[in-house]
């Protein structure tokens, strides 16, 4: 087979793969993007995600690193969305958190977790207590339904599928060579696809599981999938403006309003690699919780019941692993925060790729490593500063 030469071959055209393809190609690299499925992104976790960009709300269950990566990434999304030629729905009107009166204890738990993890100045600046009037002013559709709430100001969301589409168009416009329907590819399969690349960037999410082995015998898998289910409904009668989170001891949910009266209701999180269709229990829980938030969901039309698995490392943090010998950079572990943190994580991975391509390591990879200590893992024998 005739071989085409590239600076970088990216495996996986999900969220991180598309961002990387765009960033590297517009920086002048010759890039091939290889995906097991088609260009619509249907094989990716990104295709079903609610795409909320909620660093404070997530700090109730995440570490400080996620909050910091999230703040940096929301700044990047804002800049990128302004640059993308096709408009992508992007909103920064905050997250509204509400709870039914009987679940008041959930609110104390939520705020104490946020305060324990997020930087105090961020909490002081962004977390605002609301009374019934405050909730109604923000979301008139919820007037009279909740006595209290919290506004997490400045939090955002975007249209996941619009972002995937637009990033791909930009990458193709920059000359990225795409290979679709390639099947389950590994770095060693590239020559068989006619691709010779100086560096491979692995963005296969859960598809890269085999390359993230357990650290110790009998230990947790280095990468595992956590099943997540979301419902997409068309609900012209519902008039929510911003993402709303309902605190509940058993069925905590979020509802993210998207353009054209679409709402994403999510999400379950199950310790399971099962990717079979949504269970009746999950559908009932998600839809009942939405109906209890706003009965106008009763007339909504169910468009999709989606299931995907979130690529998750044992510490629930993202990592970039560099195999200098094989010239492979592996980005993974975006877990439930991919949209929130992928811009900063992928930028750091691209800096490592550029260092491997022969740029000045001090100017590329090292600042990213210093900014996010511990996120970039290299062979112990060759520290980052010697990448070449
Ligand atoms: C239900 C649910 C809701 C979510 N909601 C949010 C949210 O509100 N906010 C947020 O920030 N994040 C959210 N996420 C998380 C986010 O979607 C993921 O973190 C993110 O998509 C991971 O990005 P990735 O690029 O690592 O993997 P993916 O987006 O999964 O992309 C991986 C790509 O690699 C391809 N691939 C896999 N194996 C191979 C192979 N062998 N060869 C070639 N190609 C391959 C796949 O087909 C896919 O296209 C949610 C996830 C789920 C499941």
Between CA 385 and CA 72 the distance in angstroms is: 24
Domain that holds residue 20: 4-47+160-221+316-386
Between CA 221 and CA 238 the distance in angstroms is: 42
By the 8 A CB rule, do 339 and 310 touch?
A: no
**Mean pLDDT, all residues of the chain:** 95
Task: Please state the rounded mean pLDDT for residues 229-256.
Answer: 96
Which of 21, 334, 344 is the pocket-test mutation for ligand 1 (most atoms within 8 Å of CB)? Answer: 334
Q: Are 164 and 180 members of one domain?
A: yes
Q: Is residue 86 in a domain?
A: no
Q: Which of 286, 310, 334 is the last residue of a domain?
A: 310
Residue 363 confidence (pLDDT): 73
Residue 380 confidence (pLDDT): 61
Q: Is the dihedral of CA 225, 64, 345, 150 positive or negative?
A: positive
Q: Where is pLDDT greater, at 369 or 140? A: 140
Q: How far is the CA of 214 from the centre of ligand 1 (A)?
A: 21
Q: How far is the CA of 310 from the centre of ligand 1 (A)?
A: 6
Q: Is residue 105 in a domain?
A: yes
Which of 32, 206, 336 is the pocket-test mutation for ligand 1 (most atoms within 8 Å of CB)? Answer: 336
Q: Are 229 and 295 members of one domain?
A: yes
Q: Is residue 320 in a domain?
A: yes
Total domains in the fold of the chain: 2
Q: Are 237 and 292 members of one domain?
A: yes
Task: Please state the rounded mean pLDDT for residues 25-43.
Answer: 97
Q: Is residue 54 in a domain?
A: no
Ligand 1 atom closest to the Cα of residue 256 is 8
Q: Are 9 and 33 members of one domain?
A: yes
Q: Are 304 and 326 members of one domain?
A: no
Q: Is residue 74 in a domain?
A: no
Q: How far is the CA of 361 from the centre of ligand 1 (A)?
A: 29
Which of 186, 207, 317 is the pocket-test mutation for ligand 1 (most atoms within 8 Å of CB)? Answer: 207
Q: Read off the pTM.
A: 0.97
81-128: per-residue pLDDT in tens? 999 988 999 999 999 999 999 999 999 999 999 999 999 999 999 999
Q: Which of 269, 284, 310 is the last residue of a domain?
A: 310
Residue 62 confidence (pLDDT): 96
36-75: per-residue pLDDT in tens? 999 999 999 999 999 999 999 999 999 999 999 999 999 9
Percent of the chain with pLDDT over 70: 98
Residue of the CA atom closest to atom 5 of ligand 1: 49
Q: What is the CATH number of the domain that holds 266?
A: 3.30.9.10
Between CA 90 and CA 292 the distance in angstroms is: 27
Q: Is residue 252 in a domain?
A: yes
Q: Are 291 and 235 members of one domain?
A: yes
Could you tell me whether strands 148-152 and 127-131 are parallel, antiparallel, or unpaired per DSSP bridges?
A: antiparallel
End-to-end CA gap in the chain: 30
Q: Are 202 and 259 members of one domain?
A: no
Here the tokens at position 204 are: 């296969």
Q: Are 228 and 217 members of one domain?
A: no
Q: Are 253 and 182 members of one domain?
A: no
pLDDT of 388 above 70? no
Under the banding of pLDDT at 50, 70 and 90, the label for residue 381 is: low
Q: Are 217 and 247 members of one domain?
A: no
What are the residue ranges of helices labelled H in 269-378? 280-293, 338-356, 365-371
Q: Are 33 and 124 members of one domain?
A: no
Under the banding of pLDDT at 50, 70 and 90, the label for residue 385 is: low
Q: How far is the CA of 164 from the centre of ligand 1 (A)?
A: 11
Q: How far is the CA of 42 from the centre of ligand 1 (A)?
A: 10
């Amino acid at each position: 087979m005739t071989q085409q030469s590239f600076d970088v071959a990216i495996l996986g055209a999900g969220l991180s793969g598309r961002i990387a393809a765009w960033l590297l190609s517009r920086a002048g690299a010759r890039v091939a993007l290889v995906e097991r499925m088609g260009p619509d992104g249907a094989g990716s976790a990104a295709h079903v995600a609610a795409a909320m960009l909620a660093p404070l709300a997530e700090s109730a269950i995440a570490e400080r690193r996620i909050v910091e990566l999230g703040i940096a990434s929301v700044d990047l999304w804002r800049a990128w969305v302004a640059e993308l030629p096709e408009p992508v729905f992007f909103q920064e009107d905050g997250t509204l958190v509400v709870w039914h009166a009987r679940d008041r204890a959930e609110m104390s738990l939520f705020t104490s977790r946020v305060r324990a993890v997020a930087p105090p100045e961020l909490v002081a600046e962004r977390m605002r207590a609301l009374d019934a009037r405050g909730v109604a002013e923000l979301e008139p559709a919820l007037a009279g339904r909740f006595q209290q709430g919290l506004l997490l100001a400045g939090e955002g969301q975007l249209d996941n599928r619009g972002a995937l589409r637009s990033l791909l168009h930009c990458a193709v416009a920059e000359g990225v060579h795409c290979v679709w329907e390639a099947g389950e590819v590994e770095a060693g399969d590239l020559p068989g696809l006619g691709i010779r690349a100086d560096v491979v960037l692995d963005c296969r999410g859960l598809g890269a599981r085999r390359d993230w082995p357990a650290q110790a015998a009998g230990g947790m898998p280095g990468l595992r999938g956590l099943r997540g289910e979301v419902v997409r409904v068309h609900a012209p009668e519902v008039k929510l403006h911003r993402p709303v989170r309902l605190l509940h001891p058993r069925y905590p949910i979020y509802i993210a309003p998207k353009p054209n009266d679409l709402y994403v209701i999510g999400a379950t999180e199950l310790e399971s690699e099962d990717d079979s269709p949504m269970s009746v229990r999950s559908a009932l829980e998600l839809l009942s919780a939405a109906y209890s938030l706003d009965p106008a969901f009763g007339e909504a039309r169910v468009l999709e019941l989606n299931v995907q698995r979130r690529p998750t490392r044992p510490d629930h943090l993202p990592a970039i692993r560099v195999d200098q010998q094989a010239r492979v950079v592996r980005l993974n572990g975006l877990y439930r925060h991919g949209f929130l943190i992928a811009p900063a994580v992928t930028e750091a991975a691209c800096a490592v790729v550029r260092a491997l391509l022969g740029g000045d390591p001090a100017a590329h990879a090292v600042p990213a490593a210093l900014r996010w200590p511990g996120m970039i893992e290299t062979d112990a024998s060759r520290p980052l500063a010697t990448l070449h």
